[in-house]
Structure 1
Amino acid sequence: GKITRIGPNSVLSSAPEVWIHVNTKPGYKRSDWYFKAVRVEYQRDNIFSQADTEKHDATRKKIAPGYSGRENLELEGSVDTRVVAFLSLIRTKYASDNRQPVKKMDLAKKIQFFTMDVISLVAFGTTFGMLDRDKDIDNFVKSSEDGLLIGNKFMALNLGWLVQAPVIGRFLGPSVKDKTGFGAMMRECFRYIDERVENAEKGGEERRDMLASFYRHGLKGDELRSEVLEQLVAGSDTTAGALRGIMLHVLSTPSVQRKMQEEIDAVCAKRTWGDGIVPQAVVKQMPYMQAVIREGLRIWPPVLNLLPKDVPEGGDTIVVDGKKCFLPGGTCIGVSTLAMHHDKELYGEDADVFRPERWLIEADQEKLAVMTRINDLTFGHGKWQCLGKPVAQMEINKILFEWFRNFDWAVAKPHKPWRLTNAFGLFLINDFWVRVTKREA
């Protein structure tokens, strides 16, 4: 069924109505055992790790305007600059024109450079410059992946508490004293944040980015540093995972790549935005492109965390497939994201197949509405919904359009397209080698 017991006091459900209920009914709270173990900094919470609901809600209220774009007027322009940098890197270093030897490119790595550059730029107005240098600067990316793998082992051995233990914990995580890696990134981030805050306190020029918005809404000191640092981690890995999954399935289905390019070419033929990067609003009106994105997120959800919540004191009765089920207070309930998005009752017997056309069912708007509502759960729900959703959607829409507008793509090693590891429900993907060819005008 759609709910199963996975431990003495833990259950797992793939029913979307259950997960919506859990994320909206008052009283449910994040499970300490999981969220405390995924802190970015030793014994310091951020919006993702905060298990105290009141504190979470207070912080969310302060940072939500910065994520939404209402106070970050340069958001789309910032994303555009990194899209341009990505296209330039491909053209100058990796793309062939059918008259040159083929060069392979590790798309997994370049996508991570792209998402890191974007989130650093929209977060505090300066980019890490990984695309410009085609380099994992100071091993930021590698150390982040290593940290996830180590943390994954600690959790598997039920040693997550050790990372937060007094005295011991501070020596197990990254430090601003580190010369390279995540600790070095923390040091650079904190230095820049402190400079910006000092400038603001002296009445200097006000910027229109996330950092400025957070500061205006009352985040100060360590709390401000923690939220900026968290968005760098969460905002790059998840979006990168989504883009990699979409690209693998598109490149493995030539008919989909062809249909995407036909739709893109038709839109470009009556282009109204000049010679620049396609506006987000244009891509959102492209039916097939949106079907590809939704299908990519369905078949390959970028986050498979259980995201566990604790049932309120006194217990709660949930409904699964029309049947009532009582959960005692304190029961830990998690979501089975993959099972939810591969449900054959909703998507049919080919639920495990990448088929964007399933989203183009104009004759059954009721079913489409249900599918869309469930697909949106990829980003969470209610007050626990991912705040970075608008930024992630903008990155995905724009870069996919421009990739297929400018280049033809093929997987270099179809027999083994990439190297994959699951850590904390995040896919760590490397060696996604592709061949890129410039499209003829």
Structure 2
Amino acid sequence: MPKGPMWDGRRIAGKRGVSTTGALIGARDRHQHTESRQVWNRAFTSASVKRYEPIVIRRAAQLVEELKKRCIASAKGKQEAHVDMSRWMSYFSFDFMGDFVFGGAFELMRDGDEHGLIHTLESGLFLPSLTQHIPWCLDLFIYMPFLGRQMKSLGGLAYRQVQKRLKGGSVNDDLFYHLNDEAHVNSSGPPPLPVLITNSVTAVIAGSDTTASTLSNIVYLLSRYPSCLSRLRAEVDTAFPPGKAEPTESVKLAQMEYLNAVINEALRLYPPVASCLQRAPTKGSGGQMLGTSLFVSEDTAVYAPPYAYHRDPRYFFPDPDRFWPERWLNETRKDKGVVLNVNAFMPFSIGPANCVGKPLALLELRIVISYMVQNFDMRFADGYREDQWEDDLRDYFVTQRGSLPIVLTVRMPPA
């Protein structure tokens, strides 16, 4: 079933009369979506993702080195290193997405967020979280200064990065290489500038905020459940002995059962897009059957909220609200008392409009978490309430987070 009307309210609004037809995020027509998606698919083939692997590794190693600097500086002052890991995961993910989308754009891990990039992007998500429910209001809101300012700032940021990339080019086949048809695949040539801007900002937001949220969720959960951290560390240390090997082999990482169980369980409890997977019958179709028993009439939209499905005891049992990575292990799934319905697991959505970047996102999660577990001990800062994390979560389509104060200690490699 095609995307529903909420997507009309999530486009990056621009000037009156300027069309963004061809942009993936707002493509509700099935034919148009398929055509737009083909461009993105070329950037996410197995071979393409393999080419991005060194960039992920370089940025993950940089994250570890920057965090180690803070640990060393704190130790010199005889203090513990208190780090907001929610913020640092945003730094990592934005830096990487700048590399991936534009061939290099951001250096937040090195310089900090001196230009307010994260604030601009996160603030720009708030208005669409409202207009997605009343799509016809978007064109009105964007021209109200007190409502549309953040959306305009977000659009301006995207415009500047696109212009910079168009002028400077890239030494890598980044995502923009495909979005701008620099390989001359399409007979119609490159897309219009508004489409380039919309697709580019969509990629940065979709690939950075969601990854940062999941990485932060995993750090939170491992800090809350030290026994899970210990088990994961044992698996990582066995596969990549500290001081001898870094966790950089993607094939081996993909086969590490407990690592992937931790990632799946974090995605189950805290899907980055918690509620807004909306679909609706094609206009003019009269309606569409869902399965064999449910008819959805035209002009009716349906939601499949991952957060609710993922915590439903009919699909995940026992303890659907508890962090229990073991439920994903083969040995556990043999237990007849354990229910794990993978068809109800949809952190990357499902169907033709699912997340095109899933393979790259999983690569990032595996590498970064393995690097963190191999190099650091971690625990909550004194005074941090364990349930504060959930209290601070906000559903703005992509889940927005509060701070995550973690005490980091550098692990010493064995002699």
TM range (shorter): 0.7 to 0.9
Counterpart residue number, 1:269: 241
**Which consecutive unaligned segments of at least 5 residues does structure 1 have?**
1-27, 200-204
Distance in structure 2 (CA, Å) of the matches to 1:290 and 1:276? 18
SS at match of 2:116: helix
Q: Deviations over 1:91-147 (max 9, x none)?
A: 0024666993112111111111111111110112114000111x1242111122222
1:168 to 139, 143, 147: 143
Cα–Cα, structure 1 residues 97 and 293, in superposed 2: closer, same or farther, change >3 Å?
Answer: farther
> What is the aligned length?
394
Alpha carbons of structure 1 residues 92 and 162: separation in structure 2 relative to 1, 3 Å: same
The separation in 2 between residues aligned to 1:66 and 1:174, in whole angstroms, is 32
Give 1:330's aligned residue. 299
Aligned residues with identical type, % of pairs: 21
Within-5 A mapping of 1:8-407? 28-32=1-5, 34-42=6-14, 44=20, 46-71=23-48, 74-94=51-71, 100-133=78-111, 135-154=112-131, 158=134, 160-165=135-140, 168=143, 173=148, 182-196=154-168, 207-214=172-179, 215=181, 216=183, 217-218=185-186, 219-222=190-193, 223-269=195-241, 275-312=245-282, 313-319=285-291, 324-362=293-331, 364=333, 371-375=341-345, 377-407=346-376
1:3 aligns with none
Cα distance in 1, alignment partners of residues 356 and 24 from structure 2 = 9
- TM-fit CA distance, 1:440: 2.2
Q: Provide the rounded CA distance (Å) in 2 between the counterparts of 1:35 and 1:99.
A: 51
Distance 2:289 2:403 in 1: 46
For 1:369 and 1:358, the matched residues in 2 are separated by 8
Larger deviation, residues 341-350 vs 124-133: 341-350
CA shift digits 1:333-384 (9 cap, x unpaired): 1112112111212322311110011111337469899634433x21112210
The one-letter amino acid paired with 1:212 is Y
SS of alignment partner, residue 331 of structure 2: coil
Q: What SS does structure 2 have at the residue aligned with 1:327?
A: strand
SS of match in other structure, 2:125: helix
Please tell me whether the aligned partners of residues 93 and 211 of structure 2 are also in contact (alpha carbons under 8 angstroms). yes
Residue 362 of structure 1 aligns to a residue in which SS?
helix
Cα deviations across residues 231-252 of structure 1 (Å, max 9, x unaligned)? 0111111111111222211211
- In structure 2, what residue type is equivalent to 1:79? V
Which region of structure 1 is more displaced relative to structure 2, 59-68 or 163-172? 163-172
Structure 2 residue matching 1:316: 3-state secondary structure: strand
**TM-score relative to the length of structure 2:** 0.85
In the alignment, the residues of structure 2 paired with residue 352 and residue 106 of structure 1 have an alpha-carbon distance, to the nearest angstrom, of: 25
The alignment yields a C-alpha RMSD, in angstroms, of: 3.0
Tell me the distance in 2 between the aligned counterparts of 1:384 and 1:348: 28
Structure 1 Cα separation of the partners of residues 366 and 89 of structure 2: 14
Deviations 1:369-402 (A, max 9, x none): 9634433x21112210101111211110000000
**Distance in 1 of aligned mates of 2:340 and 2:354:** 18
Q: Give the AA of the match of 2:250.
A: Q
Task: State how far apart, in whole Å, the 2-side matches of 1:387 and 1:131 are.
Answer: 26
Aligned 8 A contact 2:326 2:332 in 1 = no
Whose relative contact order is higher, 1 or 2, with alpha carbons under 8 Å and at least 6 apart?
1
Alpha carbons 2:10, 2:132 under 8 Å: kept: no
Alpha-carbon separation, structure 2, partners of 1:195 and 1:243: 33
Query: 1:170/1:66 Cα in 2 relative to 1: closer, same or farther (>3 Å)?
Result: farther
- Number of the residue aligned with 1:20: none
Deviates more, 1:356-365 or 1:162-171: 162-171
Residues of 2 paired with 1:370 and 1:348: CA distance? 7
Q: Deviations over 1:198-246 (max 9, x none)?
A: x6xxxxx863222223322444332233222210111111111111222
The range that moved more, 35-44 or 346-355, is: 35-44
Could you say if the C-alpha distance between residues 347 and 98 of structure 1 is closer, same or farther in structure 2, counting changes exceeding 3 Å? farther
Cα shift readout 1:41-81 (whole Å, capped 9, x = no counterpart): 42635212222222111110122111335346530011111
Q: Distance in 2 between matches of 1:242 and 1:40?
A: 24
In the alignment, residue 396 of structure 1 is paired with which amino acid? L
Aligned equivalents of 1:270 and 1:138: distance in 2?
A: 37
- Please say if residues 94 and 105 of structure 1, whose CA atoms lie closer than 8 Å, have aligned partners that are also in contact: no
Deviations 1:298-349 (A, max 9, x none): 1111111322111352333334xxx823332332111121121112123223
Structure 2 unaligned spans of 5+: none
The answer to whether the Cα contact below 8 Å between 1:411 and 1:435 also exists between their aligned partners in 2 is: yes
> Aligned partners of 1:400 and 1:98: how far apart in 2?
27
